[in-house]
Chains A and B, each alone.
Chain A
Amino acid sequence: MKLLEIKNLWVSINGKQILKGLSLDINAGEVHAVMGPNGTGKSTLASVIAGRSIFNIDEGELIYKGKDLTKLSVDERAKEGIFLSFQYPVEIPGVSMVNFMRNAIDEKRKYFGQDPISMHEFINLMEEKKRLVEMKDTLTQRSVNEGFSGGEKKKNEIFQMAMLEPQLSILDETDSGLDIDALRIVSNGVNKLRTPDNSFIVITHYQRLLNYIVPDVVHVLYDGKIIKSGSKELAMELEKDGYEQFIK
């Protein structure tokens, strides 16, 4: 079953063309890695799927679970199961992690006509998901990402992902700035969340992450288009010989 279909997507910002006819199909249960040099549109792709309004969709279609994604607001997309793990998670002083997560979960439940989560249930859920990413107890008592180290911020992204149980997760350079231990923890977290229904888009520069999160398909994004797709061995090839071999 197709979870996400992107057809001939053209995206610009302030008149500058970033994506130039990108097409991508993702089936339920698949992990897709998107690789490519800096400035080729990887993060733009992630932002556009999440619904960031500064980007202009000039042409093409975004279809998620058979629905036109562009008709949904950012929070509606999130409620429908799209999750973006930010490359640079935002600090929100004064908003506690607990308050933040509870609002997110309750809004989603309300969207599907369910009652708010009970405090008891919520605490249990937090405890369970914290263990998944080996997160320190004190972190959830603090304001969102405030004073977190780089590694803690990335763990927090995966923690939130686990709490919200999305169907399509986009990891935007989640591995950047992570040491090997943090990388292992984050990857383990992601692997435990893999189910036959959930799909992932893993954006990365390096093949290393893909040793831990093994992709079904690897894409090379260059100049706003996917120029090559292949199996996980493609990532090895890229690591060894670079991107130039595919650029005509």
Chain B
Amino acid sequence: MFEINKNITGFIEDMTYREQPYLFRMKRMEAANSLRQNGFVFQNQSPVSVKFLKKKFALDVENANTDIGFNCTLENFSPLVYCLVNGRNIVDYGKSDNKIIVENIMNVADKVNELFGSLCDIDENGFYALNTAAFTGGFYIEVPDDTVMELPLQLVSVFNSDCDSMFNVRNLIVLGKNSQLKLIQCDDTFSDHDFFVNNLTEIFVREDAHLDYYKLHNISNDSAAVNSVFIEQESHSVVKTFNMELNAGYLSGNQNVVLGGDFAETYAYGIYLADREQEMDNYVNVEHIGTDCVSQQIFKGIIDDSARSMFTGKIIVHRDSQRTEASQVDKNILLTSKAKAYAKPYLEIYADDVKCSHGATVGQLDEEALFYMQQRGISYENARKLLLNAFVAEVIDKINIEPIKMRVSDMVKKRLMGELTVCDNCVLRCSNAKRQTKYFDNI
């Protein structure tokens, strides 16, 4: 059992006593009880994750400046943008669209009554319980039935504090029948302090709905993030998720997909680039309940220095889920002898008529290919970069928003060259470089 530090426990107590809708108070109390009884349970209690959890974080960062200027400079890219400041206040940038509903989850307890917390089991993971007990706000997104969102929707979480802080952000997204949405989620830190972000997102995808969900993680080396996503898919729905883990001290992605309806498809793609002492963990769990569903997981990691990664991929095919097609691939390249990558496939298949495959590799760069390229006059350094880019290209090529594909590919290149992924004026510019003063002009 792992003990979380005292100030987190205190904050949880405090949250249950605040004035709030009955639903949230009950959920918080259940979660607080679970934490008291079970302790703080989570899968990978590695030294790195525990180090971050033991840090002293402020939890009650109330007075954030909401006027933070935000300007994304991706060319040919003009999504709808909403900002969430310190997990509390939503700021929209004048381009709202009345086709969809975007609200702070704190204000819509009546709408989420049935859905809130219905996909995550708080006893399973301490981070789920912690989020449920201590969340301070988050996005509620509703795409009505038959609504096709032409523009992508970009949700930006901005964190700004004058001390080391922890944030618990809770999102809930509903895609109505036959609706379509492209969603981009990024976290940005606006100060040099260390942050621990614990995001939990529940997504309900109704019949025939399509969702593309991009998550870009690029936070400082002294910051940690846990991103837990729960997706429930009804029949004929299609979900693609893209997990781009470019920089963070500790990063843990939990993705749980339940294919409840028949003929649903889910594609989970991921890239993780870890170096120095960083740790990046991914846990993907796809549960086939309906028949004739397709699931695919492709994750690629490049691990440098003494960094560490862990990929746990689960596929569960229930007894009546006939004609299931499920595949899973996790490939890793280790650049040093101290780098570590763990790949753990778990397949539980109870149906007869299924096609399932899995593959995991951990290896070094192909020496023969390096020599071949050098023999053509390409320097060792350049050859190495070409090979590493090629390695992650399989995942990047799946991105179907061109400006994001270009930017991610560019960020990956810079990252592999050891440059910071700082891009002027763009919210994706999220590493711990010194912030330019122009961002604070509005204060």
Q: Which residue of A lies closest to B389 (CB)?
A: A94
Report how many residues on chain B are interfacial, defined by Cβ distance under 8 Å: 22
Q: Which of B375, B378, B379, B380 contacts A50 (CB 8 A)?
A: B375
Chain B, 381-421, CB within 8 A of any chain A CB: 382-383, 386-387, 389-391, 393-394
| B423 on interface, CB distance cutoff 8 Å | no
Chain A, 92-128, CB within 8 A of any chain B CB: 92-95, 99-100, 103-105, 107-108, 111
| B350 on interface, CB distance cutoff 8 Å | no
Q: Complex: how many Å from CA A89 to CA B371?
A: 11
| A52 on interface, CB distance cutoff 8 Å | yes
Give the chain A neighbours of B373 by CB distance below 8 A: 92, 95, 100, 104
Q: Which of A86, A90, A103, A160 contacts B386 (CB 8 A)?
A: A103
Q: Select the stretch in A37-45, A70-78, A233-241 that faces chain B.
A: A70-78
Q: Complex: how many Å from CA A34 to CA B437?
A: 69
- Using known A-B contacts A74-B371, A103-B382, determine if residue A92 contacts B390 with beta carbons closer than 8 Å: yes
CB of B376 within 8 A of CB of A104, answer yes
Central interface residue in A89, A91, A93, A160, by most chain B CB within 10 Å: A93
Q: Complex: how many Å from CA A79 to CA B372?
A: 13
CB of B390 within 8 A of CB of A95, answer yes
Give the chain A neighbours of B353 by CB distance below 8 A: none
CB of A95 within 8 A of CB of B382, answer no
Q: Complex: how many Å from CA A78 to CA B373?
A: 10
- Using known A-B contacts A90-B368, A107-B382, determine if residue A74 contacts B375 with beta carbons closer than 8 Å: yes
Give the chain B neighbours of A99 by CB distance below 8 A: 386
Q: Which of A52, A94, A100, A111 contacts B391 (CB 8 A)?
A: A94
Chain B proximity of A77: nearest CB distance (Å) = 8
Give the chain A neighbours of B387 by CB distance below 8 A: 92, 94-95
Q: Complex: how many Å from CA A144 to CA B405?
A: 22
Report how many residues on chain A are interfacial, defined by Cβ distance under 8 Å: 29
Give the chain A neighbours of B375 by CB distance below 8 A: 50-51, 74-75, 78, 83-84, 86
Chain A proximity of B422: nearest CB distance (Å) = 25
Chain A proximity of B274: nearest CB distance (Å) = 20
- Using known A-B contacts A92-B387, A95-B387, determine if residue A78 contacts B374 with beta carbons closer than 8 Å: yes
| A164 on interface, CB distance cutoff 8 Å | yes
CB of A79 within 8 A of CB of B377, answer yes
| B366 on interface, CB distance cutoff 8 Å | yes
Chain B proximity of A45: nearest CB distance (Å) = 15
Central interface residue in B377, B382, B386, B389, by most chain A CB within 10 Å: B377
| B101 on interface, CB distance cutoff 8 Å | no
Central interface residue in A75, A79, A99, by most chain B CB within 10 Å: A75
CB of A164 within 8 A of CB of B372, answer no
CB of A108 within 8 A of CB of B377, answer yes
Q: Complex: how many Å from CA A160 to CA B387?
A: 19
| B369 on interface, CB distance cutoff 8 Å | yes
Q: A94-B394, A104-B376, A107-B377 are in contact. List 20 more A-B contacts (CB 8 A).
A: A73-B380, A74-B371, A74-B374, A74-B375, A75-B375, A78-B375, A78-B376, A79-B377, A90-B368, A90-B371, A90-B372, A92-B373, A92-B387, A92-B390, A94-B387, A94-B390, A95-B373, A100-B376, A107-B382, A160-B376
Which residues of B are in contact with A by a Cβ distance under 8 Å? 366, 368-369, 371-380, 382-383, 386-387, 389-391, 393-394
Which residues of A are in contact with B by a Cβ distance under 8 Å? 50-52, 73-75, 78-79, 83-84, 86, 89-95, 99-100, 103-105, 107-108, 111, 143, 160, 164
Can you report 26 A-B residue pairs in the complex whose CB atoms are below 8 A from each other? A50-B375, A51-B375, A52-B371, A74-B374, A74-B375, A75-B374, A75-B379, A75-B380, A75-B383, A78-B374, A78-B376, A78-B377, A89-B372, A90-B368, A94-B387, A94-B391, A95-B386, A95-B390, A99-B386, A100-B373, A103-B378, A104-B377, A104-B378, A107-B377, A107-B378, A111-B377
